[in-house]
């Protein structure tokens, strides 16, 4: 469990740090969030909130509104990271 968590957090941080390099990485962020939810135990409240932001983010991404999408996906990742206690 803790090794998976470490890998997940590493992926999240890498994704966050890559923001200035890649123009848009909404699908990568969404994937990281999905992996996180699959591998980390979080409360139903956190899961619901994270999934809502994930879905809103991907909807914005599909609509071509990538800045908005990344804001929502970043917020979802922040909530997930907080939920891990790191």
Q: Which of 6, 10, 18, 24 binds Cu ion (CB under 5 A)?
A: 24
Decide: is 76 part of the binding site for Cu ion (CB under 5 A).
no
Decide: is 26 part of the binding site for Cu ion (CB under 5 A).
yes
- Helix, strand, coil percentages, rounded to 5, for the chain: 80, 0, 20
Decide: is 67 part of the binding site for Cu ion (CB under 5 A).
no
Start-to-end CA distance of the chain, whole Å, equals 14
* Triad 5, 10, 63: Cα angle to 5°: 100
Decide: is 69 part of the binding site for Cu ion (CB under 5 A).
yes
- Note the residues at the interface with Cu ion (CB under 5 A): 24, 26, 61, 66, 69
């Amino acid at each position: 469990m803790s090794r998976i968590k470490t890998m997940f957090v590493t992926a999240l941080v890498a994704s966050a740090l890559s923001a200035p390099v890649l123009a848009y990485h909404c699908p990568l962020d969404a994937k990281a969030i999905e992996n996180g939810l699959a591998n980390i135990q979080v409360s139903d409240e956190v899961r619901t909130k994270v999934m809502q932001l994930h879905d809103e983010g991907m909807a914005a991404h599909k609509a071509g509104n990538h800045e908005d999408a990344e804001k929502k996906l970043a917020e979802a990742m922040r909530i997930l990271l907080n939920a891990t206690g790191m």
